[in-house]
């Protein structure tokens, strides 16, 4: 069974540096492990050819009998009799207690014949084993160290093991990193990986533990806790059934946890996959991000809240468009009013609001939409289309909004840029008729006259300058008035 969240695409303008760094680091360590097979083969050849096997393996079988493990000793003795020393050697080296006593000289004592030669060969063999990256840095639960508690997270047993872990890490990692930041992501990975070692440390078993699975499980659980009860898309695969569904994020966490427990104790109990590390990683990641949210008053990360806002806006916009398609213009106008309050700088929404308000025959909404669009055109002239500016001016009757002289100048400039000279003249005349805006109107008429002259309409340019001089003489500076008289 596979249940995998499907986050939004990563924003490569802000690449997930920490997530990519972890992936690169795991890949680099795996390359370092690549020669372990050759190193191990050389060590085993030395072990069998140096005589160590003839001394140590019989001693190990006798030690098993002395410890009350006669059945196991008999099974291994039969294997050794078939000239298969490898399985017996592996069993011996996995027996931490025996190996500790062997290296301490408690199995082959210093008084035994040939002890010095054995000690020399054993130390050389241990030196060969020390060259193995995997066994040196993997976690040995019966003899853990602070180094191996961390280093084992970056080791992997096969290409498939590495590829699977890194795929899952990337799929959820970039979203978690966007929420927690790069340092937060690194801390979560490392602390989650340490949480995953707890079952091994509480119930030590022979052998080695390696892989990023526990740390990745912590990141996956963190993803779910960050999204809480929000419904997010998941890909699911169970036997022959698969598809995509939207479920509350937290609802998947107990499913994941129970799956690991069932695999460990029921369906795959003989596997060498450390399901309890996955289980502990899930719990650790959930608790860590739960603590993070608790410190924020249970609020999720800012990036998640922005996603919520964007999703709400997208739903509201879809609702508005649906109301338009159903000719429910009054409802659509109400939707667009809410949208421009949420996104006041979105010219497309403001233009849609004006069109829908017209269709709804709502004069107050038309005026509100027109004024908003004119203010937007004054602040960001190039965001608003020329036709939309004209429509906003027409729908702002009977009164223009009170804007600064600079704002009206930018709106006029937008009209002149689009060669909408008629609309520009109407605006200038409306400003000229309104007390307090005479100076703005005078400047508008001058600019409009210049535009007409450039367009070759000299008669219109002279008429506009005459109008400016006769109707707005009191608003002109002496220098401007004198310049016109000449």
Digitized pLDDT (tens) for each residue of the chain, 486 residues in all? 678 888 877 888 889 999 999 999 999 999 999 889 899 999 999 998 998 998 999 999 999 999 999 999 999 999 988 888 888 988 998 888 899 899 998 999 898 888 999 999 999 999 998 899 998 899 988 889 999 999 999 999 999 999 999 999 999 999 999 999 999 999 999 999 999 999 999 988 877 889 999 999 999 999 999 998 888 888 888 878 888 888 888 888 888 889 888 888 888 877 888 999 999 999 999 999 999 999 888 888 878 888 878 888 889 999 999 999 999 999 999 999 999 998 899 989 999 999 999 899 888 888 888 889 889 888 888 888 888 888 888 887 667 788 888 888 888 888 888 888 888 888 888 888 888 888 888 888 889 899 999 888 899 889 988 888 887 766 555 444 444 433
pLDDT of residue 152: 95
Same domain, 68 and 122: yes
Q: Is residue 469 part of a domain?
A: yes
Question: Among 373, 396, 419, where does a domain finish?
Answer: 396
Give the C-alpha separation, 40 to 43, whole Å: 5
- Residues 292 and 203 reside in one and the same domain: yes
In this structure, the answer to whether residues 391 and 431 fall within a common structural domain is no
Does residue 23 form part of some domain?
no
Query: Measured between alpha carbons, how far is 39 from 132 in angstroms, rounded to an integer?
Result: 7
Please tell me the distance from the alpha carbon of residue 265 to that of residue 260, in angstroms, as a whole number. 9
pLDDT of the residue at 482? 45
456 in the same domain as 348: no
In a domain, 413, yes or no: yes
Is 150 contained in some domain?
A: no
Q: Is 246 left (phi over 0), alpha (psi -120 to 50) or beta?
A: beta
How far apart, in Å, do the first and last CA atoms of the chain sit?
Answer: 89
- Please tell me the distance from the alpha carbon of residue 454 to that of residue 88, in angstroms, as a whole number: 99
Looking at residue 204, what is its pLDDT?
A: 86
Any idea what the CATH number is for the domain that residue 379 is in?
Answer: 1.25.40.10
Tell which of 334, 362, 396 closes a domain: 396
Phi, psi of 157 (to 5 degrees): -85, -20
Domain carrying residue 406: 402-486
pLDDT of residue 483: 45
Q: Are residues 45 and 163 in the same domain?
A: no
Last residue of a domain, one of 335, 361, 396: 396
What's residue 189's pLDDT? 97
**Domains identified in the chain, total number:** 4
143 domain residue, yes or no: no
Phi, psi for residue 139 in degrees, rounded to 5 = -85, 120
> Do 414 and 473 fall within a single domain?
yes
Is residue 120, in this structure, part of any structural domain at all? yes
> 115 and 167: one domain?
no
Residue 28 lies in a domain: no
Q: What is the CATH number of the domain that holds 244?
A: 1.20.1540
Q: Is position 432 within any domain? A: yes
pTM above 0.85, yes or no: no
* 268, 218: one domain: yes
103/85 Cα distance (integer angstroms): 20
* Residues 372 and 485 placed together within one structural domain of the fold: no
**207 and 166 within one domain:** yes
Rg (CA), the chain: 39
Q: Are residues 231 and 161 in the same domain?
A: yes
One domain for residues 7 and 113: no
Q: How much is the pLDDT for 64?
A: 93
> Phi, psi at residue 363, to the nearest 5°?
-55, -40
pLDDT for 46 equals 93
């Amino acid at each position: 069974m596979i249940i995998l969240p499907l986050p939004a695409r990563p924003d490569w303008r802000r690449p997930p540096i920490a997530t990519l760094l972890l992936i690169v680091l795991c890949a680099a360590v795996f390359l370092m492990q690549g020669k372990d097979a050759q190193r191990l083969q050389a060590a085993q050849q030395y072990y069998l050819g140096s005589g160590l096997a003839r001394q140590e393996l019989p001693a190990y079988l006798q030690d098993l009998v002395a410890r009350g493990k006669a059945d196991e000793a008999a099974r291994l003795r039969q294997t050794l009799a078939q000239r298969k020393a490898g399985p017996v050697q592996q069993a011996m080296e996995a027996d931490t207690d025996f190996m500790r006593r062997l290296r301490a000289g408690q199995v082959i004592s210093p008084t035994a014949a040939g002890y010095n030669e054995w000690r020399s060969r054993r130390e050389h063999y241990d030196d060969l084993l020390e060259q193995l990256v995997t066994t040196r840095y993997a976690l040995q639960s019966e003899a853990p160290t602070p180094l191996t508690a961390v280093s084992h997270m970056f080791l992997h047993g096969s290409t498939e093991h590495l590829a699977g872990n890194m795929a899952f890490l990337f799929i959820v990692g970039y979203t978690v990193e966007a929420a927690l930041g790069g340092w937060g992501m690194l801390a979560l990975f490392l602390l989650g990986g340490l949480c995953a070692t707890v079952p091994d440390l509480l119930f030590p078993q022979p052998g080695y533990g390696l892989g990023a699975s526990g740390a990745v499980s912590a990141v996956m659980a963190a993803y779910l806790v960050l999204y809480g009860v929000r419904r997010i898309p998941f890909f699911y695969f169970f036997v022959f059934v698969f598809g995509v569904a939207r479920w509350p994020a937290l609802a998947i966490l107990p499913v994941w946890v129970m799956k690991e427990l069932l695999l460990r104790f029921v369906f795959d109990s003989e596997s060498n996959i450390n399901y309890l590390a996955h289980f502990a990683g899930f719990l650790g990641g959930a608790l860590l991000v739960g603590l993070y949210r608790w410190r924020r008053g249970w609020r999720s990360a800012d990036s998640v809240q922005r996603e919520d806002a964007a999703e709400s806006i997208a739903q509201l916009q879809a609702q508005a468009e649906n109301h338009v398609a159903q000719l429910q213009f009054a409802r659509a106008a109400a939707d667009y009013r809410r949208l421009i309050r949420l996104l006041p700088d979105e010219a497309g929404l403001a233009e849609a609001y004006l069109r829908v308000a017209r269709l709804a025959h709502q004069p107050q909404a038309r005026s509100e939409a027109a004024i908003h669009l004119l203010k937007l055109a004054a602040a960001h002239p190039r965001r608003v289309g020329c036709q939309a500016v004209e429509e906003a001016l027409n729908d702002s009757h009977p009164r223009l909004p009170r804007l600064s002289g600079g704002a009206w100048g930018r709106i006029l400039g937008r009209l002149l840029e689009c060669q909408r000279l008629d609309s520009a003249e109407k605006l200038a005349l409306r400003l000229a008729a309104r007390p307090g805006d005479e100076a703005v109107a005078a400047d508008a008429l001058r600019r409009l006259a210049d535009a007409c002259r450039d367009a070759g309409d000299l008669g219109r340019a002279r008429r506009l300058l005459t109008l400016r001089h006769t109707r707005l003489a009191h608003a002109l500076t002496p220098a401007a008035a004198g310049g016109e008289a000449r």
